[in-house]
Amino acid sequence: MLRNEFQIIDQIYDSQVENKFIIKKLTVNERIILLQKLEESILAHRQEITQGLHLDFRKSIIEAESTEIFPIISEIRLFRKNLKKWAKTKSVSNNIVFFGSNAKIQYEAKGNCLIISPWNYPFQLALVHLVACIAAGNTAIVKPSEFSPNTNKVVKKIINSVFSSNHVEVVKGEIDVTTHLLNKKFDHIHFTGSPKVGKIIMAAGAKHLSSVTLELGGKSPLIIDDTMPLETIVSKAIWGKLVNNGQTCIAPDYILIQENRLNDFVKSAIKYLEKTFGQDPKESPDLARIINNKNFHRIRDLIQDSIAKGAKCPYGNDYDEKELYIKPTLLTHVDSNSEILHEEIFGPVFPIISYTTINEAINFINEREKPLALYIFSKNKALIQQISDETSSGAVMVNETLIHIMHPNLPFGGVNNSGIGSSTGKFGFEDFSHAKPVLDVNQLVSPTKFINYPYNSRTQKIINLMMKYL
């Protein structure tokens, strides 16, 4: 990175710091207009977006539009519809101590924000959090991953068509750019990526006491009992795994299946894969590719390490490095020391582990870091409740995969190793806002009339009454 490029970043940062107090004063209507312009620009560049995603991932148009463009349009429309209600100052009730007082919660912008987005959904994740950030009245620097350069060009083009640089700007570059940005003081940092990098982001935020939201990942399990038809489960499980070729933070990472169903599940899965993608899935237009050589080799090494340690591979284990293609792969009888059971896969590989009792499955999950999502396929309501009660995860999804992230009234986020804080919808607005309490005390019956100086026996009696009845 040339010094003058760092100087350009510094100028953008300084202009946003100076401008954040003006942006904070934008009315809700003015923010809604900006969101509408953003929506219009996205729709106007729809073809360029899908082209960029195809160049970066070989994503099909349908997958690009359904997983990258539609979620942003849906999020913008949700904010345009509800922002006035969410941003409205809200009165809260008083107890007897504050009788006659006026207590309220006022939402204010946090200030200048940094949004660091990942490569796996380079359009959706660069913009979905920007929607909340702008709606809350902040400025933002968006730093996308350098691994998706074609999509990044369109993201920057769209943002520059709507916002001035001292309001929102895209800063491209590699790790040196991210490091340079993290040395600066931001009022809020939103990061989506791996737990390893998340720790670096949190440490950087701590230097300036910046608030930090982390959307991380983890090994999200998919549990199958014996109460549902395998054909129903297989189609949903494989779709959840293979969308974006497994490069999804909430993709089911591994399967826990009741032991007596293991062989039938494998047969059903192979039948479904061959029917859906043909005898040579590489020729299917529906399968995306691995993002780069580094991740290609990492995933291939995970598969081959498992097989070397005794795992069986009834389907898959086929590669084309030139095309960054890895055939969807099923693994059974995976040794507990295999790396694939300890590292997030982020690829089209399904380790399948059998269990005899549900407690075994629950213990297997609880022995690992808390996942971002947990999937349960069952008709047994008591078992579903037991799993939900006895495990901890960012979210629980029953009899489906992935789509909980689309629900307009549910928060999205992890817990501990899989993330800190919540995003999307109302929860995203609150994430980029400070909920400021404002209290106007009724002076006729102010609490300080009774507990102010000088302290005496009367003061003590009042305190005793408060301790007893309040």
**Residue in 121, 75, 69 with CA at minimum distance from that of residue 408:** 75
Residue 206's H or E segment, with its range, is helix 195-207
Please provide the DSSP assignment of 10-58 as one string: HHHHHHHHHHHHHHHT--HHHHHHHHHHHHHHHHHTHHHHHHHHHHHH-
334, amino acid identity:
V
For residue 132, what are its two tokens?
């909340």
3-state secondary structure of 324: coil
CA distance 142 to 157: 13
Residue 271's H or E segment, with its range, is helix 262-277
- Selecting among 75, 215, 344, 430, the annotated active-site residue is 215
CA distance 420 to 412: 10
Q: What's phi and psi for 256, nearest 5 deg?
A: -110, 115
Beta-bridge mates of residue 142:
115, 170
CA distance 152 to 160: 12
CA distance 172 to 190: 16
**Residue in 289, 256, 265 with CA at minimum distance from that of residue 367:** 256
Beta-bridge mates of residue 355:
258
Contacts 24+ apart (CB under 8 A), 306-309: 306/331, 306/334, 306/335, 306/338, 306/339, 306/340, 306/351, 307/331, 309/334, 309/335, 309/337, 309/338
Please provide the DSSP assignment of 86-107 as one string: HHS-EEE---GGGTT-EEEEEE
- 215 in active site: yes
CA distance 392 to 396: 9
- Selecting among 39, 75, 169, 249, the annotated active-site residue is 249
Residue 280 — left, alpha, or beta (φ > 0 → left; ψ -120 to 50 → alpha)?
A: beta
* 169 within 8 A of 141, measured Cβ to Cβ: yes
Q: Report whether the peptide linkage leading into residue 454 is cis, meaning its omega lies within 30 degrees of zero.
A: yes
Give catalytic residue positions. Answer: 215, 249
